[in-house]
Structure 1
Amino acid sequence: MAYQVNQWSNGFTANVTITNRAAAINGWSLTWTFGGNQQITNSWNTQLTQSGTGVTARNVGWNGAIPTNGSQTFGFQANYSGTNNRPAEFRLNGTVCTNA
């Protein structure tokens, strides 16, 4: 899993690439918790919800399948104040991801 950020004074965009190293999956959900006050304002290639610091990104109709060694990418835009640290842990369908 890769989490790439483009940051400015009080906002950022992030591109997230999920790479599946296990058996093929059809339907995914990626969850994480922000360590600060990040608030997502927009997203693409995902159905994204945020409750407090917790975030859930789910596949949309055209990108639910990830074959073994395949990947899917989505992104979002967010605001923040203070620091914008990378989330400590991501979980794909409940399993902790290895970060790249």
Structure 2
Amino acid sequence: MRKCTPPAAPTCEVTYTVHGSWPQGFTTQVTLKNTGRKAIDGWSLKWSFLGGQKVVHDWNASLTQQGATVTAANAHHNKKIKPGHSVTFGFNGVSAPGANPTPDLFLLNGAACA
């Protein structure tokens, strides 16, 4: 008999807010909150763009993009996130023609966020 363990509850919450947009671009702020009971010591937040967007400039995190997938890695000064606390980073992006949809799934160090 195999024992099954239910998946752990998300220990993070992400708020993705577009603060400004223009015909070919946008500015976004992302807030990553630690909703777990332990401090996060080093983080990587991953998501996929749904509309062909591209990151062109970032701050308070190091963003890389491979196709539609973006990975934001902590900066030295915001590596640790205490329980109940959050970090904020942002970026400018280039949008594809048409809509600029918000990503629908964020992974913190490989685990889904709420």
**TM-score normalised per structure 1:** 0.94
C-alpha distance in 2 between matches for 1:73 and 1:63: 9
Structure 2 gap segments, 5+ residues each: 1-13
SS of the counterpart of 1:62? helix
Partner residue, 1:77: 92
AA partner of residue 93 (structure 1):
N
Residue among 17, 20, 24 paired with 2:34: 20
Displacement of 1:94 in angstroms is 1.1
* Cα shift readout 1:21-40 (whole Å, capped 9, x = no counterpart): 11211100000000111011
Structure 1 gap segments, 5+ residues each: none
Higher normalized contact order (CA 8 Å, seq sep 6+, divided by chain length): 1
AA partner of residue 30 (structure 1):
L
SS of the counterpart of 2:75? coil
Partner residue, 1:92: 108
* Cα shift readout 1:23-61 (whole Å, capped 9, x = no counterpart): 211100000000111011100000110011000000011
Larger radius of gyration: 2
Residue among 66, 77, 83 paired with 1:51: 66
> Does 1:7 pair with 2:14?
no
Partner residue, 2:45: 30
Number of aligned residues: 98
Partner residue, 1:65: 80
AA partner of residue 25 (structure 1):
I
SS of the counterpart of 2:76? coil
Partner residue, 1:42: 57
